[in-house]
Amino acid sequence: MKLLVLPGDGIGPEIVAAAMEVTQAADTRFGLGLVFDHDEVGFPSLEKHGTTLREDLLQRARRDYQGVILGTQSHADYPAPEKGGRNVSAGFRIRLDLYANVRPARTRPFLESNMKPGKTMDLVIMREATEGFYPDRNMARGWAEMMPDPDMALSVRKITRRGSDRIARRAFELAMKRRKKVTAIHKANSFHMTDGLFLECVRNVAREFPEVALNDMLVDASTAHLIRNPERFDVLVATNFYGDILSDMASELSGSLGLAGSMMAGDTQCCAQAQHGSAPDIQGRDIANPTSMILSVAMMLGWLGEHHHRPEYENAAAAIDAAVDAVLANPRTRTRDIGGDAGCKAFGMAVAKAIE
C-alpha cells in the first residue's frame, strides 16, 4: 500500500521521523509491503509554494494513496486563508471525506495519570470531523463566520442527517468490538434543532445494534463524569466541537495529550495524526514525545488491515501498541515530559527495536 508522509510544522518532522522508524520496523517484520512518498505542508509549503496546502497535493492524496501520515501544524500562526494560510487538517478532512476522528484515551498502570487515585480510563471518542461549529468546513462556498458590523460577530453551525448517521454507525460498530456501550454527547436542551437532529440520528442507528446499550448525556455533565467516574464510558459519539474539547480533556486526564493516538478515517482512506499541537517552543531540541504520532500510525495500519482484509496490518498495529507500552513501562526509556530522559529519536528507536 502507498502512504503519503507529510511532516508538517514545529515538532512534526521529529515525531514523524520517530514514527517512520517504528513503521519501517513493523513493515519489515510483518511484510507489509509499504511504499512511502514524502511531501510538504504547513510553513515549508507556504515558503515554497505560497500556500500551506496545495490543491494538487490533495488531489494526489485522494487519488493515489490509501493512507496519510500527517505531522503537526501551527495553524494559529498561519497567515489569513487569502494569503495562503490554509487549514491543513480541515483540507484533508473535507477533500478526502475523513469524517470520523477517532480518539482513544486510556490509563496505564505503570504511568501516573491526572485523575483521582484509583480511577482508570479506557474509552474512545468518535468525533464527527466535517461539519459542526467549524466555519472552514460547513459551507459550499465562503466562510461560516461573518461580521455584519465591527461590533457584531455571527457564526453558522451545520449539522446534517448524513453526517450524524454515519458517525453514529461507526461508533456503534466500534462499541460492538469493545464493551458494547455508546454515550451520545449533546446539548439538545439548548440547541433543539441541531443537537436534536444529531440525537435523533444516533437513536435511529441504535435500533440496528440491539446488543449495544445507548445513553445520552449533556456535554457539560459529561465533563464532570469524565473526572468523577470515567469508568462508565466506553465509546462516546459527538459532534465536531464537543468531541474536540472532550478528547483533549480525556487524554490529558489519562496521562498526557502526548500519549494518545488519533486517526481521521473515511470510507476508503485513513490519516494518522497526533492529537496534540506543533509545540514550536521545543522544535529541534529532540525532547518531543512521539508516542501520540506512533500510536496514530498504529491505528491507521489497523484500519487499513481491517478495510482491506490484510491481517498482517492488524498484527503490525497490535505489535506497535505492545512495543510502545513496553518502552513506556521502563522509566529509563521515557521522554522528559513523563519523567524520563530519552530523546524523541531514541524513543522511536527503542520502540522499533522492541518490534524487531
Q: Residue ranges of the domains in the chain?
A: 1-99+269-356, 113-254
pLDDT at 134: 84
pLDDT at 143: 81
pLDDT at 125: 98
HSE-up (13 A, CA, CB side) for residue 320: 33
Looking at residue 31, its amino acid is G
- The top-level CATH class assigned to 113-254 is alpha beta
Pairs from 213-217 (Cβ < 8 Å, separation ≥ 24)? 213/180, 213/181, 213/182, 214/182, 214/183, 214/184, 215/181, 215/182, 215/183, 215/184, 216/183, 216/184, 216/185, 216/186, 217/183, 217/184, 217/185, 217/186
**Options 37, 64, 77, 220, the catalytic residue:** 220
**Options 65, 78, 158, 187, the catalytic residue:** 187
With a cut of 50, list the residues of the chain below it in pLDDT.
Answer: none
pLDDT at 291: 97
**Options 195, 216, 234, 244, the catalytic residue:** 244
Where residue 10 falls (left for φ over 0; alpha for ψ -120 to 50; beta otherwise) is left
134 is catalytic: yes
CATH fold of 1-99+269-356 reads Isopropylmalate Dehydrogenase (3.40.718)
Where residue 330 falls (left for φ over 0; alpha for ψ -120 to 50; beta otherwise) is beta
pLDDT, tens digit, for every residue of 55-86? 999 999 999 999 999 999 998 899 998 899 99
pLDDT at 72: 96
Residues 260, 251: contact at Cβ < 8 Å? yes
The reported pTM is: 0.94
pLDDT at 173: 98
Set of cell numbers at residue 9: 510544522
Q: d(Cα 251, Cα 112) in Å, to the nearest integer?
A: 13
pLDDT at 265: 97
Examine domains 1-99+269-356 and 113-254 and report if their fold is the same: yes
**Options 248, 321, 325, 337, the catalytic residue:** 248
244 is catalytic: yes
pLDDT at 135: 82
Residues 137, 157: contact at Cβ < 8 Å? no
**Options 65, 78, 99, 134, the catalytic residue:** 134
187 is catalytic: yes
